[in-house]
Amino acid sequence: MAQFHQLDFLFLIFDSNAGVIVMQDSRLSEQSKIKNQKSKILLPLPFRSSTALVLFFGVCALGLAVDLFSKVYAFEHLVIEQTTLPNGQILVDSRDLKFIPGLLHFHATTNQGAVFGIGQGKRWLFVVVSIGAIAFLTYLFALSGRQWFYQLLLGMLLAGVLGNMYDRIVYGYVRDMLYALPGWHWSDLLGKPVNPTSWRNNEIFPWIFNIADSLLCVGVFLMLCYSFFTRNDAEDGQQPQLNADERG
């Protein structure tokens, strides 16, 4: 009989301990749920949307891959000789590949500046600017909500920034190969000038660029158009409300 009471007492102790453990487990699970909910609340919407992530990071990865591949292909197949001058300037002797004759040729060259050759020799300045641009584009993506087209444009811009920044860090210059409107001069459209030094003898588009430059220029242009039209839509949506308030 005494043994029965002892066993019964032991079972009671076990049951009470088990209850405490269950209560502790339930509290821990509730705390983990609260932490997960807080982490979800703190994470911006685009980072929780698979569509937004694909549009931003997916488009960026695709654009960057195309840009780097085109650069490698051009410099492996078009460059005849590359020379570095004592002042650090790099000259490239390249073949011409007429992709669309008279409209688009491939001609490899280097650019130690920015778009259109601006700021020659400012390598690390442009690297710092690129890092700032990456941070800013990521910030805009975090605030983009469900603006799918806007996120696609941000991905294009990010690919352009990363493509040229990679070249500046690894090579010290940007690899260019796209030559649009080769040999086209203003005199072809406006007539040959009498003065041989006239600006009409200049090429219409003398710059050679790359895929990253194209992504940046097209992305900025479409971004301006998108901002203009979405702003007009917002103003049109507010106008009926203003009219209703005036009538009231």
Sheet strands side by side (includes 208-209): 96-100, 104-111, 174-180, 208-209
Q: How far apart are CA 56 and CA 67, in angstroms?
A: 16
Predicted pLDDT of residue 11: 42
236 is catalytic: no
The mean pLDDT of the chain is 83
Q: Domain map of the chain by residue range?
A: 44-228
Q: Single out the catalytic residue among 167, 188, 213, 233.
A: 213
Q: Which residue has the tokens 């601006």?
A: 118
Known active-site residue 176? yes
How many angstroms separate the Cα of 157 from the Cα of each of 43, 181, 228? 23, 24, 18
| pLDDT value of residue 43 | 84
pLDDT value for 236? 55
Predicted confidence at residue 88, as pLDDT, reads 82
pLDDT attached to residue 120: 80
pLDDT of residue 77: 95
Rg of the chain on CA atoms, in Å = 31
Identity at 57, one-letter amino acid code: F
213: nearest Cα among 176, 173, 238, 167: 176
Angle between helices 211-247 and 148-170 (to 10 degrees): 150
Is the torsion defined by CA of 207, 211, 215, 216 positive or negative?
Answer: negative
Per-residue HEC secondary structure of 112-126 comes to CCCHHHCCCCCHHHH
The stretches in the chain having pLDDT less than 50 are 1-4, 6-24, 242, 244
Selecting among 96, 167, 176, 236, the annotated active-site residue is: 176
pTM of the entire structure?
Answer: 0.76
